[in-house]
Amino acid sequence: MASGDLEGGGRNGKNRPNSYHQSSSPFYVENTEKQWTSWLVPMFVVANVAVFFVVMYINDCPNNNLGFEGSCVAKFLGKLSFQPLKENPLFGPSSHTLDKLGALNWDKVAHGKQGWRLITCIWLHAGVIHLLADMLSLVFIGIRLEQQFGFLRIGLIYLLSGFGGSILSSLFIQDNISVGASGALFGLLGAMLSELLTNWTIYTNKAAALITLVVIIAINLAVGILPHVDNFAHIGGFLTGILLGFVLLLRPQFGWVQRQHVPAGAHVKSKHKAYQYVFWVIAVVLVIVG
């Protein structure tokens, strides 16, 4: 995704001497803000990959495939070989294995009291192609956000957005199972949008930044129209991420950041603008209600 360059093109230090510096990344970050080292997002990637290997080992196609849909793919992998492509074209396990290991199944959540599936489904993937698509998106989006806002806030947005996506998916998709981190990823996209809106005053080229992000979001939502893609999880995660972004990704305005350089007795701006507080209150209320 091209989302990683959004802020680099949308914000700069023009007419603000000594207030910004440019690092090796395309972001311009205030030198008074702490830059975090991204470790949580890489850990999420490792965890997702590790879970996929465990799922494939348990799936054990050579010993469990009945042969109705053909033979296992990549038999040289042994127990890690994939189900026949007619059964799973994404190079992955069987639906039975995913369901057994925690895929989102409305009937089991609603009637079997297995609410834990709302969380476990986020860590499961239908195949290698599905896993690669999600993990590449997570790296491009998540690392930049974690560097700017820290692991705690981005981790919360990721997990709660995935949960929100599972909730909406379970309400509308009741005949099939659902797996994947897409809801959590769309939550990060939603958080990027609300971060842009709530921190609007620190951006130059505002229209370009907003249009770029909206196009990225629209393209990803359009992909959700394709068959066998759970767009309800995308929408649920996206809406959750937007609200959490207003709550967790607030930045102080420029005048407050530079307050230590203001002469004694001079007027110092408040930390946040009034509209930022309005967004924050509305988002908190909607998160609680939701």
Q: What angle do CA 173, 179, 183 make, to 5 degrees?
A: 80
The rounded distance, in Å, linking the Cα atoms of 195 and 210 is 11
Cβ-count burial of 5 within 10 angstroms (0-12 exposed, 13-18 middle, 19+ buried)?
A: middle
How far separated are the first and last CA of the chain, in Å rounded? 29
Strands 28-30 and 20-22 turn out to be: antiparallel
Q: Which residues are catalytic?
A: 182, 234
Distances (CA, A) of 252 to 130, 173, 201, 247, 281: 38, 41, 10, 13, 16
Cβ neighbours around 8 below 10 Å, total? 15
Provide the 3-class DSSP secondary structure of residue 149.
helix
Helix count (H) and strand count (E) of the chain? 13, 2
Q: Which two tokens stand for residue 53?
A: 């290997």
Query: In this structure, are residues 92 and 82 in contact, taking their beta carbons and an 8 Å threshold?
Result: yes
Q: What's the one-letter identity of residue 242? A: I
Query: In this structure, are residues 188 and 241 in contact, taking their beta carbons and an 8 Å threshold?
Result: yes
The rounded distance, in Å, linking the Cα atoms of 242 and 4 is 17
Q: Check residue 75 and report its DSSP letter.
A: G
Q: Which two tokens stand for residue 252?
A: 């102080």
The rounded distance, in Å, linking the Cα atoms of 181 and 72 is 26
